[in-house]
Protein backbone atom coordinates (compact mmCIF):
# COMPACT_ATOMS: atom_id res chain seq x y z
CA UNK A 1 0.00 0.00 0.00
CA UNK A 2 1.35 3.42 -0.93
CA UNK A 3 0.46 6.31 1.38
CA UNK A 4 -0.55 9.74 -0.03
CA UNK A 5 2.91 11.12 0.91
CA UNK A 6 4.59 8.47 -1.26
CA UNK A 7 5.89 6.21 1.52
CA UNK A 8 5.08 2.54 1.49
CA UNK A 9 3.13 0.90 4.30
CA UNK A 10 3.76 -2.75 4.95
CA UNK A 11 2.17 -5.22 7.30
CA UNK A 12 3.88 -8.20 8.88
CA UNK A 13 2.40 -10.98 10.92
CA UNK A 14 4.51 -12.31 13.77
CA UNK A 15 3.65 -15.24 16.00
CA UNK A 16 4.86 -15.57 19.58
CA UNK A 17 4.50 -18.29 22.18
CA UNK A 18 4.05 -17.23 25.76
CA UNK A 19 3.08 -18.66 29.12
CA UNK A 20 1.36 -15.39 30.05
CA UNK A 21 -2.24 -15.73 31.19
CA UNK A 22 -4.40 -14.04 28.51
CA UNK A 23 -6.83 -13.00 31.23
CA UNK A 24 -4.22 -10.91 33.03
CA UNK A 25 -2.42 -9.15 30.17
CA UNK A 26 -3.60 -6.90 27.40
CA UNK A 27 -2.33 -6.94 23.82
CA UNK A 28 -0.53 -3.67 24.63
CA UNK A 29 1.26 -5.41 27.55
CA UNK A 30 2.42 -8.22 25.26
CA UNK A 31 3.60 -5.74 22.63
CA UNK A 32 5.55 -3.78 25.28
CA UNK A 33 7.24 -6.97 26.51
CA UNK A 34 8.19 -8.06 23.00
CA UNK A 35 9.56 -4.62 22.09
CA UNK A 36 11.49 -4.53 25.38
CA UNK A 37 13.15 -7.84 24.51
CA UNK A 38 14.16 -6.68 21.04
CA UNK A 39 15.42 -3.37 22.40
CA UNK A 40 18.00 -5.30 24.44
CA UNK A 41 18.85 -7.51 21.46
CA UNK A 42 19.27 -4.60 19.06
CA UNK A 43 20.87 -2.19 21.52
CA UNK A 44 23.41 -4.48 23.15
CA UNK A 45 23.87 -7.92 21.61
CA UNK A 46 23.79 -6.77 17.98
CA UNK A 47 26.32 -4.02 18.70
CA UNK A 48 28.70 -6.40 20.46
CA UNK A 49 28.54 -9.02 17.74
CA UNK A 50 28.52 -6.67 14.75
CA UNK A 51 31.29 -4.35 15.94
CA UNK A 52 33.48 -6.64 17.99
CA UNK A 53 32.60 -10.11 16.59
CA UNK A 54 31.87 -11.30 20.11
CA UNK A 55 30.27 -14.54 18.92
CA UNK A 56 33.43 -15.47 16.99
CA UNK A 57 36.01 -14.09 19.41
CA UNK A 58 38.39 -16.62 20.94
CA UNK A 59 38.29 -14.84 24.32
CA UNK A 60 34.61 -15.72 24.66
CA UNK A 61 35.71 -19.27 25.50
CA UNK A 62 37.70 -18.02 28.50
CA UNK A 63 34.58 -17.23 30.47
CA UNK A 64 32.33 -14.37 31.33
CA UNK A 65 35.08 -11.77 31.79
CA UNK A 66 35.21 -10.86 28.08
CA UNK A 67 31.42 -10.65 27.92
CA UNK A 68 31.34 -8.43 31.02
CA UNK A 69 33.99 -6.15 29.51
CA UNK A 70 32.13 -5.75 26.23
CA UNK A 71 28.89 -5.07 28.16
CA UNK A 72 30.74 -2.39 30.14
CA UNK A 73 32.18 -0.88 26.95
CA UNK A 74 28.75 -0.56 25.31
CA UNK A 75 27.30 0.86 28.53
CA UNK A 76 30.11 3.43 28.72
CA UNK A 77 29.53 4.45 25.12
CA UNK A 78 25.85 4.94 25.87
CA UNK A 79 26.73 6.99 28.94
CA UNK A 80 29.31 9.16 27.15
CA UNK A 81 27.45 9.92 23.96
CA UNK A 82 25.37 13.01 23.73
CA UNK A 83 21.80 13.04 22.46
CA UNK A 84 21.73 12.17 18.77
CA UNK A 85 25.44 11.34 18.64
CA UNK A 86 26.35 8.25 16.65
CA UNK A 87 27.58 5.48 18.97
CA UNK A 88 29.83 3.95 16.30
CA UNK A 89 31.55 7.25 15.50
CA UNK A 90 32.15 7.87 19.21
CA UNK A 91 33.56 4.37 19.59
CA UNK A 92 35.95 4.94 16.70
CA UNK A 93 36.96 8.33 18.11
CA UNK A 94 37.66 7.01 21.61
CA UNK A 95 39.29 3.71 20.62
CA UNK A 96 42.84 4.96 20.98
CA UNK A 97 42.19 7.80 23.43
CA UNK A 98 41.95 6.35 26.95
CA UNK A 99 42.83 9.74 28.46
CA UNK A 100 39.90 11.35 26.68
CA UNK A 101 37.60 8.63 28.02
CA UNK A 102 38.85 9.27 31.55
CA UNK A 103 38.33 13.02 31.11
CA UNK A 104 34.78 12.45 29.85
CA UNK A 105 34.16 10.33 32.95
CA UNK A 106 35.30 13.17 35.17
CA UNK A 107 38.91 12.20 35.87
CA UNK A 108 40.38 15.59 34.94
CA UNK A 109 43.77 15.18 36.62
CA UNK A 110 45.09 12.88 33.90
What pLDDT, on the 0 to 100 scale, is given for residue 85? 81
pTM for this entry: 0.51
Would you say residue 18 lies in a domain? no
Q: Is residue 7 part of a domain?
A: no
Q: Report if residue 30 sits inside a domain.
A: no
Range of the domain at 63: 42-104
3-state secondary structure string across the chain: CECCCCCECCCCCCCCCCCCCCCCCCHHHHHHHHHHHHHHHHHHHHHHHHHHCCCCCHHHHHCHHHHHHHHHHHHHHHHHCCCCCCHHHHHHHHCCCHHHHHHHCCCCCC
What pLDDT is stored for residue 59 in this prediction?
A: 67
Average pLDDT for runs of 10 along the chain of length 110: 82 87 92 83 74 69 75 83 81 85 79
pLDDT given at position 61: 67
pLDDT of residue 28: 93
Q: How many domains is the chain partitioned into structurally? A: 1
| 1 located within any domain | no
Whether residue 19 is contained in a domain is answered as no
pLDDT of residue 21: 92
Amino acid sequence: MIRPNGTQKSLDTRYFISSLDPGTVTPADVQRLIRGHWQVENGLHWVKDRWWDEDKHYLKRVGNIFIALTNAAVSLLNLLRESGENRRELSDELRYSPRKVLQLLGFNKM
